């Protein structure tokens, strides 16, 4: 049972346009969310995070939006650049504010973003 779902295995976007990657979760105890980026033959690297007390977090070209009522978050990249081509993983954890959470992150299956020149 996937608690974190990324329903688009791949996404193709033209360079300079906005990339929007989506993620849904089912566990209402999740209160901290992260996005990781992964290039081939490398480990995932942290990109941006958001806690459940916020609905938006921005870092340069990257913005993450959280809609708690819909149990949905999205990552916006604008403008998209060729170096953004990678697999993006959404991840979540529980217990930051409610207590009793477990260590470790629950990951989605990833979305392969392809930036077209």
| Site for other proteins, rule CB under 8 A | 32, 34, 36, 41-46, 49, 89, 91, 93, 95-96, 101-110
**How far, in Å, CA of 75 to CA of 84, rounded?**
12
Cβ 101 to other proteins, closest distance in Å? 6
**How far, in Å, CA of 103 to CA of 89, rounded?**
18
Residue 5 or 79: the one with the smaller Cβ distance to other proteins is: 5
DSSP code at position 85: -
Cβ 15 to other proteins, closest distance in Å? 27
Cβ 16 to other proteins, closest distance in Å? 29
The backbone torsions φ and ψ at residue 104, rounded to the nearest 5 degrees and listed phi first, read 85, 160
């Amino acid at each position: 049972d996937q608690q974190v779902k990324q329903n688009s295995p791949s996404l193709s976007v033209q360079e300079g346009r906005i990339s929007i990657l989506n993620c849904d979760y089912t566990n209402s105890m999740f209160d901290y969310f992260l996005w990781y980026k992964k290039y081939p033959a490398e480990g995932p690297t942290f990109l941006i995070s958001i806690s459940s007390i916020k609905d938006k977090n921005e870092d340069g070209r990257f913005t993450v939006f959280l809609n708690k009522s819909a149990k949905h978050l999205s990552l916006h990249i604008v403008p998209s650049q060729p170096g953004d081509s990678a697999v993006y993983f959404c991840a979540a954890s529980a217990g930051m504010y409610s207590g009793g959470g477990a260590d470790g992150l629950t990951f989605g299956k990833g979305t392969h973003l392809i930036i077209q020149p």
